[in-house]
Structure 1
Amino acid sequence: MRFQRYLTGVAIAALLAGTAVAQTAPQEPAAAGTLNPAAEQAPPAAPAAAPQFQMADGILATVNDSVITGYDLRQRMLLLIAMTQVQPTPENIPAIQQEALNALIDERLQVQELANYEDLVVTDQEVSEEIAAMAQEVGAAPEAYLSFLEAGGIRPQTLREQLRTQIGWQRLVGGRFQSRARVSRGAVDAALRQISEAASKKQYLIGEIYIEAARVGGQQAALNGANQLVQQMVQGAPFQAVAQQFSSAPSATRGGDAGWVVAGTVNPTLQTAMDQLEVGQLSRPIPVEGGVYIIYMRDKRDGAAINLVQLKQVMVELPETATEAEVAAAAQRLEALRPQLTCDTMLQRATSEQGLLGADLGEADVQNLAPQFQQVARSAPVGSVSSPVRTPLGLHLLGVCGRRAGGAEAPNQQVVENQLFRQNLATLARRYMRDLREDALIEYKQ
């Protein structure tokens, strides 16, 4: 739901509490269960009655000069429960309360920061349009959607206030950091090279939830919370909604979608869990330094993407019947020439010296190249010139002038640039919120 996108900057903190099954019981499989596929598409069912929370009605906290009351907190807890379908229990109510309080504190800070920009105004019409879009995505009319919330004890104004703040915050972040989040051509090229190099390796399409221990009271609290969340998701709470509300990973903005992860590029503990999970399975809590992960295995593949390489060559023609002395002389000449060559100068140099031939071999699938060329095409660094390679036609120096992943799933330059831009913007937004918290006067009332 689009609503969850706007919640990302607000709810990236504390989790519920539970046990570390994967670590304390290694004899058990990594999979904790299979998610309910229908839960990802179906609108949540309204609770028969609003959960009852015991808390004071007065002021619970102040954020600079803004107050948070018991009523505010109860409304946010109800909204959190409705959107994630994490069922309240006596064990997890205190942690849900802490999560909601953290979200409210962040929202108060955002409202105060937005007040510094008088021209940044979110109209009632824009909020109504967002609610209409949310309702449409679950196949309901806006009135029916708001009625669902009211049936759970949530006043429509609670949703409207939160949406207004989050729409404004997204605009502020985008306007303030757009130039700083821009991606250089070098960064895009480096990312494309990494994608190409990973194309032949095993890959995992995963969803992730990361519980940061420092935000929830320590590693044990993170382990406990992860275990309870796993139980809730196996019972039907949608993974995407839970990740949006509870994960502190950057992928929380995308419902926990971490995309394709290449084997060998993650923490060894996570790698072990991913190897054990079958498609559609959810891991038990996976402790790592600083927190706990939950992994949802969406898909796997064995690196079926096509590797495309751009080659140029300088060669000395030699028949298969050439003597060893002739081959050695040609190799010596090419080796002496090789340090002077680049992809930009190879063809020009070949045409300027007698006995040399130059050619731009263009872009080709590595598997379609001559067997003698394939090793260089796969492993030589981009921009390098190889040692002499013998073929039935002669001796060749190969310049590896470009390499990329091909096939229908291979991202192009624009797609990669957009992905990196979004990642940069999300990082800057998190730092912005961190700085606001550090500078704020936040007091909790007993």
Structure 2
Amino acid sequence: MSDINYGDPNATPPMGQAIPLGLQHVLAMFASNVTPSIIVAGAAGLAFGGAEQVYLIQMAMLFAGVATLFQTVGMGPIGARLPIMQGTSFAFVGVLAGVAATQGLSVALTACLIAGIIHFALGSVIQKLRFMFPPLVTGLVILAIGLYLIPVAIKYAAGGAADFQMAAESFGSLKHWTVALTVVVVSLACKFLTKGLISNAAVLIGLIAGYCVAILAGMVSFGGVTKAAWFQVPTVMPYGFEFSLGAVIGVTLVSVVSAIETVGDASATTKAGAGRDATDDEIAGATYADGLGTAVAAVFGGLPNTSFSQNVGIVGMTGIMSRHVVTIAGIFLIVCGLIPKIGAVISSMPLPVLGGGVIVMFGMVAAAGMNMLTEVKMSRRNMIIISVSLAVGLGLNLVPSAVQYLPGIWKTLATSAVAPTALLAVVLNLMLPQDD
């Protein structure tokens, strides 16, 4: 073991060490990976706990694993061949939830497919586009994503997201908040009072604790788990192909931001694990894998994926940069994605349990954006870009009637919070002169 160079991506730790390390990577990202599918399924009007929602959860696990193998194993120029963990991206939730609610999952997934292909093509020019997305822009976009999602977290914690759920007498009840706060308290306790595997899986452990409390409170039905099969292969284009230019533009805009985030994660991984900068081939390969993973997932009903930053932290913490460890994690996710009963168990989780988890997760997304903005000098120019982009992006989301005369999909994009914030941040950053 002493002869193994753990800073080398090609290092192969013994299986007795590699399997627990791979499981650690899965536990750190598992909750964040399945949550976007649950939210988009709810926005599309799919029955909570129903077969269609279970299927979307399956696809989130399956194609997070597939996209991870694209990164770690690679094919030709595709893949960074670094220990980069892929998962379903929160960045797309705002746009996709709006599109799914107004035009259906067929339009949303078609947009994901086309955006994934465009994202793939970015691999050849990503280095030339980086100047458009400095920390000012990417930090703003990530902050907007977190702030947009926080009200969703509060609604889930209180017991519902749809209008009929929010109108129910039980909405906001002490029972719902007890379950949600159990998740929050246990997650924080595990994160800050423990180390290693338990600390990295803090949110997942919190969800399990909240789930147990919900079972004791009689809030969980296992009917869907009983009916679910033990094995199922994915379906090609389960919702059909339906093109909408506005939806494609919106999802592609977020894809560009996601590509820049992946570049940052690739660079952070090599810094954390090997103390060096990522090469041009590694950055291009990571972007190719990102886009290919998104496009392939969309073909089978999965949402866009991206690199997961929390897993970069595990590489830095353990000092083990072996891509083979993360390959094991990807295989584990693929196996989970082929077993509908696992998706059914996740789908049986009551909304307040999920709400407690996403309060933590969405808050962390917003905090990550704020952390990126700390790298930015708060000059008058930059403060104007931040204030105008956030004010318009979040303001239109809070007052959607302000753009009620825009045609369908354009209104959806304008009120998605993420798309207008990203567009304004990029344009203003390119147009406004630098301060003296």
TM (norm. structure 2) is 0.30
Greater Cα radius of gyration, structure 1 or 2: 1
Instruction: Report which of the two has the higher share of strand.
Output: 1
Q: Which has the higher contact order (CA 8 A, sep 6+)?
A: 2
Provide the TM-score with structure 1 as the length reference.
0.29
